[in-house]
Chains A and B, each alone.
Chain A
Amino acid sequence: MRRRIYCLSILVLAGAGSFSCTSVKEYQKNKINDAEMALSNRKVEKTELSFQSYREGSSGANSGKSGGGCGCN
């Protein structure tokens, strides 16, 4: 498992490093600030995320909660 995490970390860092970022001024962010560009889940997805975390063995890294609540059924 450690080896996999190491490989993934390298991939993620390489991916991050390959972006060439330009400095975007606040007045140039009309598209970036669009509600549908948000880098998070939408409110309307709330129940979807709950049932996915119950019906699937993995969860987390999606801005939702990582525990709490049963989901027993």
Chain B
Amino acid sequence: MKRIFITGFALLGFLRATAQDNVQTDSIAYKAQKLKLEEINLVSSYYKQDGNNSAVTGGIGTEKLTDISNSIDVKFVKYGETGKKHTWDFEVGVDQYSSASSDMVDLSANSSASYSDIRFYPSVSYSRENEEKGNTIGAGVSSSTEFDYQSFGGNINYSKKTKDRNGEFTARFQTYIDQVKLINPIELRPTIENGGTEGRNTFAGTLSYSQVVNQNLQVLFQADLVSQQGYLSLPFHRVYFNDGSVHQENLPDSRFKIPLAVRASYFLGDNVIIRAYYRYYTDDWKLTSHTADIEVPVKLSPFFSLSPFYRYYSQSAVKYFSPYGQHTGSEQYYTSNYDLSKFDSSFFGMGVRIATPDGVFGIKHFSALEIRYGHYSRSTNLTSDIISINIKYK
């Protein structure tokens, strides 16, 4: 908690410094018209969880984990000679996490209460919008690096608005080419090669359509088709069979997922907004889930709002899941990862948003501040808390 406040104040200091710099650059107006800094978003989060079904120890054992996440997202806009809008978005994120279960890859080491790692994930995207015709094309690349995992991603997208500008169709294709480093449980290293890598590829197609229904209501329909191939297990997940023997998690090398979602935002009166979301998900590992989410921002003034929210989630187990000590030698695929078990969960909390025209706390260009806290509880007794802050500079 202390760290997140230090991070928040450091970011505020950065904003003050940047805002002062900007006063000087604004005087050179012709440069700003060429390539304009549209906005900067700083997001910091502190997340902690606890539970007692770690997959590293075969479905039993601590799931204690903390994560401090910081990211900065910078957007530039430029209008070309033909009136087309060009947008560049640069983002860098760093997660620092400590996980008690990671310590248990080596059961005898137990070096500390937790084992820590860092994930670093930069991304760049570009889009070109023809505001006259109402269409946008875009592309982006990303990467994510941590000690035992490397991911490279790419995406392309196309959007087209309807003639009256009240509807918009979007198509997107994403791909991730990943490498998993094979870090095996210590007791299996004499029999299974340790330290090599295996590939995991993800291809995702998305179609969505949004529609303004009237002056108060808009809706969005979205469908994804996601195909994953390659090494979809995790090498340090243990599975204990009913004869007491220990094995490495073994899952099929392909998975096909279909999530379908609908989202709606409704302005009720002058001060209340209702944001609702529902998703149905199914895949060929026989996991189905339902997600329902509602958030009700209440505007206490035009510049200050409170947003209570509640999310309910329910899923069935994948057909390869069994708890500790229940798998048998006759099964081809097996896991004791409780993230793939049958459960339901609740996530609730509150957000605060301040967006004043003169700048938050009187700081010019500090256009919005959002703070959000949520508590998550799963029927498998996993609980977590998260607090996030978003500082927008515009």
Q: Chain A residues in contact with chain B, CB under 8 A?
A: 1, 4-5, 8, 12, 15-16, 19-24, 26, 28-29, 31-32, 34-39, 42-48, 50-52, 54-63, 65-70, 72-73
Contacts and interface: CB of A to CB of B under 8 A. Distances in A.
9 contacts: A5-B282, A22-B215, A31-B267, A35-B368, A36-B275, A42-B370, A58-B279, A59-B257, A68-B178
B176 interface: yes
Nearest to A16: B221
A66 B185 CA distance: 28
A13 B372 CA distance: 34
Interface of B: 41, 43, 45, 47, 49, 56, 63, 65, 67, 69, 71, 73, 97, 99, 101-102, 119, 121, 142, 144, 146, 148-149, 151-153, 164-166, 174, 176, 178, 180, 202, 204, 206, 209-216, 218-224, 226, 228, 234, 236, 257-265, 267, 273, 275, 277, 279-284, 287-289, 291, 297, 305, 307, 313, 315, 318, 339-340, 345, 347, 351, 353, 355, 368, 370-372, 374, 376, 378, 382, 384, 386, 388-390, 392
B262 A15 contact: yes
A34, A70, A73 interface centre (most CB from chain B within 10 Å): A73
Given A36-B297, A61-B222, A69-B119, A44 B390 contact: yes
A12, A24, A26 interface centre (most CB from chain B within 10 Å): A24
Contacts of B305: 36
Contact of A5 (B258, B279, B289): B258
A8 B223 CA distance: 11
Contacts of B374: 48
A65 B279 CA distance: 15
Nearest to B224: A60
Task: State the majority secondary structure of interface residues on A.
Answer: loop
A37 B259 contact: no
A37 B267 contact: yes
Contacts of A43: 41, 43, 73, 370, 390, 392
B214 A36 contact: no
Contacts of A57: 287, 289, 315, 318, 339-340
Nearest to A12: B221
Contacts of B355: 35
